Amino acid sequence: MRKHNQLKREHEPYVPVFYSIIVVVIILIISFMLSNYLNDSQMHTQYFTIAFTSIIFGGYFIMIHKNLFSNVVGYLIIENGIFLLSLAVGSIMPIMVNLAILLDVFMGVLILGLFINRVGDTFKSVKTEHLSKLKD
């Protein structure tokens, strides 16, 4: 896959790795402070902390990487963070659960589109009779 897409490295960030680790630790500390500030009896603070960190880190991950595959991973991190946020505040805001389900459907369509494009690039046809020649 790396040769097909002319990737020299799997990891090509705009920001050096050391600075990224520092930024992620700062995001985690801010998330803990925010969850302690919003201490609510109906909200699960552990889920909220990890959810907030995942959402912010997913956006940061998208911003610092150059290739499309890393951006898809960033969107998946954001999607998992939104799912955890819906678990944290599900009893308070049930609309968050519906938005998380909608985001899951959107991510499924996005990944399915990437796979279909990949099959089309590899086999030049998506018809099953052309794929029957792929026997062992």
pTM of structure: 0.63
The CA distances from residue 31 to 16, 25, 52, 119, in Å, are: 23, 10, 6, 40
pLDDT for 119 beyond 60: yes
Q: Compute the average pLDDT of residues 83-97.
A: 74
**Which pLDDT value is given to residue 10?**
56
pLDDT for 74 beyond 80: yes
**CA R_g for the chain:** 19
pLDDT for 2 beyond 60: no
What does the alpha-carbon distance between residue 111 and residue 87 come to, in Å, rounded to a whole number? 24
What does the alpha-carbon distance between residue 27 and residue 57 come to, in Å, rounded to a whole number? 8
**Which pLDDT value is given to residue 8?**
59
Q: Compute the average pLDDT of residues 95-109.
A: 77
**Which pLDDT value is given to residue 129?**
58
> pLDDT class for 56, splitting at 50, 70, 90?
very high
SS (H, E, C) 21-81: HHHHHHHHHHHHHHHHHCCCCCCCHHHHHHHHHHHHHHHHHHHHECCHHHHHHHHHHHHHH
Token pair in block for residue 12: 């090509």
- For 12-32, what is each residue's pLDDT tens digit? 667 888 898 999 899 989 988
**Which pLDDT value is given to residue 37?**
85
Q: Compute the average pLDDT of residues 90-103.
A: 72
Amino acid sitting at position 23: V
